[in-house]
Amino acid sequence: MLKCRQVPEQAERMLAGDLTWRERLSLRMHLFICGHCRRYVRQLTLLLRSVPFLYGPASDDEVDKVIKRVHCEQDSHQH
């Protein structure tokens, strides 16, 4: 059974379309049971849908900066 602490990563992967059918099923079962995580996923979905309306398209330079920062943060958390 999926744990609450696993939901943020799984939710991001779900919204990106990167979950297997078993992972989707596991996430959906957890969301059926857990109102807190259900609310988190709903808010994340709404946030991601609203971002394009807040700003114009990102430049290639802006995208590169964000990707580099994400990779640096991931590296720092893994060590």
Please give the pLDDT value at position 34: 97
Listing DSSP states for 63-77 in one string gives HHHHHHHHHHHHHHH
21: Cα separation from own chain's centroid:
17
pLDDT digits (tens, 9 = 90+) for 5-17: 999 999 999 988 9
Please give the pLDDT value at position 76: 72
pLDDT digits (tens, 9 = 90+) for 21-78: 999 999 999 999 999 999 999 999 998 888 777 777 788 999 899 989 888 877 776 6
Please give the pLDDT value at position 79: 57
**Token pair recorded at residue 2:** 């999926």
Q: Are 8 and 40 in contact (CB under 8 A)?
A: yes
Please give the pLDDT value at position 25: 96
Amino acid at the residue 74: Q
Distance CA 24, CA 10 (A): 8
